[in-house]
């Protein structure tokens, strides 16, 4: 009896030690999340209910005026434009990135790593340098118009237009779509595709009924990685769109840096975070429904 009690006590002590070791291993990650995710989000939420005085200082009072301003028609149009640009960017990234990712995943092993390297090369250069490279290509006296003139074709003015913004967004976020889809396509079971062909399905039916559902998690992850950051992008719209096509990221940046209206900028940020959460929940619902119909 005594031995049984001692054995139970030893087991309980070992479990508590294992639990403490697990918490110690998790502590750095939890601390990082609290300091750089939870705490800034709480501060942003608090600021969104504050006011701004004449000198641009934050006055800690409770008001909903900032959220009322967010739904002013001017800012609603900017939000709608941002969502439209981000949605179009996401669609183009899926259309362009899916075949690229699928081809890389189906390539021979010795070629696969080289092709992935080509996809990731843009990450090795400065984002600002890549953006200025596109400005050099698209400006009126740039490389694109020089090529068109050499072919005796009329020149086009793309810089500082919505088209230039879309080109810049697609170029910036295309790798974020390719890599998640590649991860799903690489795990694709070739036997399922062969079985579909054996059962008489054509290429289009195999693609729509077998390949797309199995790679949907990669598409959903890529959509999240492209759509949400594209809504808040401000550097590309500043450099390639000028002041003609402001997005919500430009407005938020302006409120914090130029207008010094931190409470209103925080309210815009809170709405942006709510939009991110809504997008995540929709994608989670779609992928869960496909995996567990």
Over its length of 293 residues, how does the chain's per-residue pLDDT go in tens digits? 455 545 555 555 566 666 677 677 778 888 888 888 899 999 999 999 999 988 888 899 899 999 999 999 999 999 999 999 999 999 999 999 999 999 998 888 888 888 888 888 888 888 888 889 999 999 888 888 888 888 888 888 888 889 999 999 999 999 999 999 999 988 887 788 888 887 888 888 888 888 888 898 899 999 999 998 999 888 898 889 877 778 898 999 999 988 889 999 999 999 999 988 888 888 778 777 655 55
Evaluate whether 226 touches 92 at the Cβ level (below 8 Å).
no
Backbone dihedral angles phi then psi of residue 58, each to the nearest 5 degrees: -80, 125
- Residue 143 in domain: yes
Strands (E), 88-235: none
- H or E segment at 150? helix 143-150
Report the CATH number that the domain containing residue 247 is assigned in CATH.
1.10.3720.10
Evaluate whether 252 touches 268 at the Cβ level (below 8 Å).
yes
Sequence-distant (6+) residues with CB within 8 A of 183 are 218
The structure tokens listed for 86 are 């981000």
- Residue 185 in domain: yes
- H or E segment at 59? strand 58-59
Give the DSSP letter of residue 121. Answer: G
Give the residue from 123, 121, 102 showing the smallest Cα distance to 112. Answer: 102
Give the pLDDT of residue 275.
86
Give the DSSP letter of residue 51. Answer: E
Sequence-distant (6+) residues with CB within 8 A of 53 are 59
- Residue 151 in domain: yes
Strands (E), 19-84: 51-52, 58-59
- Residue 236 in domain: yes
- Residue 247 in domain: yes
- Residue 250 in domain: yes
Residues 167, 224, 174, 250, Cα dihedral to 10° = 30
Sequence-distant (6+) residues with CB within 8 A of 32 are none
Give the pLDDT of residue 176.
93
Between helices 248-257 and 262-291, what is the axis angle to 10°?
150
Give the pLDDT of residue 9.
54
- Residue 18 in domain: no
Give the residue from 168, 165, 146 showing the smallest Cα distance to 156. Answer: 146
Evaluate whether 234 touches 249 at the Cβ level (below 8 Å).
yes
The structure tokens listed for 265 are 């900028």
Give the pLDDT of residue 90.
95
- Residue 199 in domain: yes
Give the residue from 85, 173, 168 showing the smallest Cα distance to 123. Answer: 173
* Angle (CA) 165 162 96, round 5°: 55
* Angle (CA) 204 207 211, round 5°: 170
- Enclosing domain of residue 123: 73-289
Give the pLDDT of residue 33.
87
Give the pLDDT of residue 29.
85
Q: Say how many domains are in the chain.
A: 1
Q: What is the pTM of this model?
A: 0.84
């Amino acid at each position: 009896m005594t031995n049984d009690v001692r054995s139970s006590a030893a087991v309980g002590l070992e479990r508590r030690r294992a639990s403490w070791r697990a918490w110690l291993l998790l502590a750095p990650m939890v601390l990082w999340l609290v300091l750089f995710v939870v705490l800034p989000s709480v501060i942003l939420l608090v600021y969104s209910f504050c006011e701004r005085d004449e000198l641009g200082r934050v006055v800690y009072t409770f008001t909903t005026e900032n959220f009322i301003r967010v739904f002013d028609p001017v800012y609603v149009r900017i939000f709608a434009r941002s969502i439209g640009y981000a949605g179009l960017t996401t669609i183009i990234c899926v259309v362009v990135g899916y075949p690229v990712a699928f081809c890389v995943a189906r390539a021979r092993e010795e070629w696969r790593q080289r092709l992935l390297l080509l996809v990731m090369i843009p990450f090795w250069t400065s984002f600002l340098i890549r953006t200025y490279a596109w400005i050099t290509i698209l400006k009126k006296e740039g490389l694109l118009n020089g090529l068109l003139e050499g072919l005796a074709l009329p020149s086009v003015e793309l810089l500082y237009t919505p088209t230039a913004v879309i080109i810049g967004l697609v170029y910036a976020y295309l790798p974020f779509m390719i890599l998640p889809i590649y991860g799903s396509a690489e795990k694709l079971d070739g036997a399922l595709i062969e079985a579909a062909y054996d059962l008489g399905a054509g290429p289009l039916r195999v693609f729509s009924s077998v390949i797309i559902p199995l790679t949907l998690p990669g598409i959903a992850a890529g959509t999240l990685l492209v759509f949400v950051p594209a809504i808040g992008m401000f550097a590309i719209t500043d450099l390639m769109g000028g002041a003609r096509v402001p997005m919500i990221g430009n407005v938020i940046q302006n409120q914090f840096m130029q207008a010094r209206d931190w409470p209103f900028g925080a309210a815009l940020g809170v709405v942006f975070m709510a939009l991110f959460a809504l997008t995540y929940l929709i994608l989670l619902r779609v992928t869960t429904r496909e995996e567990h119909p």
